[in-house]
A = this chain, B = another copy of it.
Amino acid sequence: MERFSSVSMAVVRRLPKYHRYLEELIKNDIRRVSSQELSKITGFTASQIRQDLNCFGGFGQQGYGYNVDELHDEIGKILGLNKLYNTVIIGAGNLGQAIANYSFFDKSGFKMTAIFDVNPKLVGMKINDIPVVDVDELEQFINEHNIEIIVICTPKSQAQKVADIATRTNIKAIWNFAPTDLKVREDIIVENVHLSESLFTISYLLKEKEEQYRKKK
């Protein structure tokens, strides 16, 4: 994936966490928060939090801290959550359905417009009010509906094919759940969710802990 600005991905990947925790604070009617308090909640150091936020502007006030509502809003804008992104899901299996059913994404501006599948039994159905469409119509649909993001929830074997079709269109980003690294145009953003890599990290840590434990004895 290309980088476009000077803000590091390490910082960017912390932004959604800030956003989420600020939401919690709003729910609890907390109006004001210092970097130190945020530190306690998020686990990041206060210094890091101030550094991170100052990549985007001075949202705080000396002697006071940050206004929770305002900061939440600003981070939302930085993340682009005030915009609408026409999105489609490809693959109506359990994973595709899970994402279709998780209305939070829709509420956050990712408009789930259709789900594509090869299975003729599913085509024509609706999942969480989102129509299931034949995958043969994918390319045309993307073009006609100005789809910007595609979510790949197909088996590994189909993922690259789907990416190839999508790459012929004007889509801008791929959210890929297939356990493979897609080859696409340089200008397309690819965000991978590789579940097995996440799970394997657990087994690594388990094994390591076991070994440490044995050594101590």
Name A's B-contacting residues (CB within 8 A).
1, 4-5, 9, 12-13, 15-17, 19-20, 78-81, 83, 85, 93-95, 97-99, 101-102, 104-105, 108-110, 148-149, 172-173, 175, 179, 189, 191, 193-209, 212
Q: For A155, give the chain B residue with the smallest CB separation.
A: B102
Contact A196 B98 (CB under 8 A): no
Contacts of A81 in B (CB 8 A): 200, 203
Contact B173 A189 (CB under 8 A): no
With contact pairs A19-B200, A201-B12 given, residues A209 and B108 touching in the complex (Cβ less than 8 Å): no
**Interface SS, A side:** helix
Contact A4 B95 (CB under 8 A): no
Contact A203 B80 (CB under 8 A): yes
Contact B5 A199 (CB under 8 A): no
A11 to chain B, nearest CB (A): 10
With contact pairs A173-B205, A207-B79 given, residues A200 and B16 touching in the complex (Cβ less than 8 Å): yes
